[in-house]
Amino acid sequence: MAPRKKAHGAKAGDGKRPSAREQLTEYRRKRDFSRTKEPEGGGDKSAKGGKLAFVIQKHAATRLHYDLRLELDGVMKSWAVPRGPSPDPADKRLAVQVEDHPMEYNTFEGTIPKGEYGGGTVLLWDRGWYEHEEKGGPDAIREGLRRGDLKVAFHGKRIQGGYVLVRTRGYGDGGQPSWLLIKHRDKHAVAGGELTETHVTSIATGRTMEEIGGSDTSRVWHSRPRDQAAQKDWTGALLPRKSKSIADVRRERAAAEARGRAGTGGTGGDDA
């Protein structure tokens, strides 16, 4: 966790932001690239035309979720959104912030081996570019992330218009910050509407989850009892529940790091 803390600790405006490679330390630590086809990353490829890329990947890991990734400073800032984005401003969708991902992840579609971190099928659900909703540029995006109040406008095929990401006081079961993803009231808002049930195929290949090689249900992946416990934790995180104390989170982080050093891996982070 120390490297991630360092990456997140760099203040906007201090003139010395961490490199993409530094920001991806935790991403690399969690993966065995001899076993997964996921990219190692480290490139600083920017989106075409100076626009910031976004991607949403449907991921049937321990628990089905949608990974929202926003380009910033050479990496993809990432959130796991269990229910995916909604076009209805009345919906508040939990979005658990996970480790920064490499830009190269934006084209990843396929299957992460069972038993590996995040094992399961990944489908490219939507992609395009995004901007600060009030045209504040990258500085306003950095500031929004820091303050826990990030307003963005999506220019995708399926997700359009303004949304806000608001950080809550809660944490995911791995101690990650929890946010809420909420649609703004604009011409793209649809009261009572939904997106994830309408769009179930890959934006890139037109394939379904089954065709990519996995299953749309989570039970195929990880049948060990300790993973079911992790899944239950994650589901619990969907509901408003009492926040963990800082001491609890620190204890869990220390335990997770101890497991990481022992090379046995944790159970809590399988969903990222």
Contact positions toward Mn ion, by CB under 5 A? 59, 67
171 vs 221 by CB, closer to Mn ion: 221
User: Nearest distance from residue 118's CB to Mn ion, in Å?
Assistant: 5
User: Nearest distance from residue 272's CB to Mn ion, in Å?
Assistant: 5
What are the Cα distances from residue 53, in Å, to 17, 30, 47, 77, 235?
19, 24, 6, 11, 29
User: Nearest distance from residue 122's CB to Mn ion, in Å?
Assistant: 7
The residue with its CB nearest to Mn ion is 59
User: Nearest distance from residue 65's CB to Mn ion, in Å?
Assistant: 6
User: Any idea of the CA torsion for 150, 155, 157, 163, to the nearest 10 degrees?
Assistant: 30
27 vs 189 by CB, closer to Mn ion: 27
82 vs 89 by CB, closer to Mn ion: 82
161 vs 214 by CB, closer to Mn ion: 214
